[in-house]
Amino acid sequence: MTELTFGQRLRTATDTHGPLCAGIDPHRALVESWGLGYDVDGLAAFTDACVDAFAGHVGVVKPQSAFFEVFGSRGIAILERAILALREAGTLVILDAKRGDIGSTMMAYAEAYLGKDAVAPADAITVSPYLGFESLRPALDLAAQTGRGVFVLGLTSNPEGRTVQHARLRDVSVAESMVAGAAGENAGARERGELGSVGLVVGATVGSAVQELGLDLAGAGGPLLAPGVGAQGGTTEDLRRVFGDALPNVLPASSRDVLSAGPDVAALRDRALRTSESLAALLR
């Protein structure tokens, strides 16, 4: 296990650089809006510009794995190169891969992204718990051993999410069981007054769902990755309404809004820094 936990390193990163989690989402429309071809060369140019802009300047960066996977092994190679460059510069990387399975398959996913022998390990990954929270055990345990983290999908903003996440069994919603699972994993860190390493993904645009479901996000004790800020409609008022007393643990994620400032590296970095400054003022 590394000397510092992911939660400790994340707290230091956001205290130093601000709370923004800058996304790297090279989907077709965005890549082409930069005047690049939607091919491997365009993907590489897009990604390199993001790395140049964010590395060492933004505390946390979140590449979306799917947009690299679409180009096969050559796309994955670009993703791996970006992860290594960002981490070398001291920027934490949350790989948005949303992996979820059972048994040996989940263990293989964990080893691929969190293991000590991983080719380009991320600092944390997003995981899907909808085969049951305990199906994540291989990733949870390996992350703890290697000083890395996981972000469990808790309450997503897509309309279809309600049919699963709001469902109740014996008066406990599925989302509430995920929050409880994260809280259990973070109990030791919480007792030490530290940020836990098992986070939750809670959309910035879920409206009143947290209150309706009675979710104790602050009690979960871990970071709260909040996608949807900026171009997807999430505002600072939404963050206040959704997260309430859990605001100090929120990691607002913005992709399209920040990336729209590209392809100029200086403009991209400036947009990220200004966004992070405004979010820091909110979360103080």
* Paired tokens of 109: 């996913």
Q: Which of 27, 81, 87, 98 is catalytic?
A: 98
Angle between helices 40-54 and 72-88 (to 10 degrees): 10
Q: Is 98 a residue of the active site?
A: yes
**Paired strand residues for 149:** 124
Tell me which long-range contacts 143-147 makes (C-beta under 8 A, separation of at least 24). 143/6, 143/110, 143/114, 143/197, 143/198, 144/1, 144/197, 145/1, 146/1, 146/2, 146/114, 146/115, 146/116, 146/121, 147/1, 147/2, 147/3, 147/4, 147/5, 147/6, 147/9, 147/197
* Paired tokens of 58: 């933004």
What is the rounded end-to-end Cα distance, in angstroms, of the chain?
31
Q: DSSP letters along 205-216, please?
A: T-TTHHHHHT--
**H or E stretch at 93:** strand 92-99
| Block residue for tokens 């004790």 | 221
The residue count of the chain comes to: 284
- Of the candidates 184, 183, 170, the one whose C-alpha atom is nearest the C-alpha of residue 246 is 183
- Of the candidates 228, 236, 223, 284, the one whose C-alpha atom is nearest the C-alpha of residue 60 is 223
For residues 231 and 211, give the distance between their C-alpha atoms in angstroms, rounded to a whole number.
Answer: 24
Contact 224, 188 (CB under 8 A): no
Catalytic residues: 98
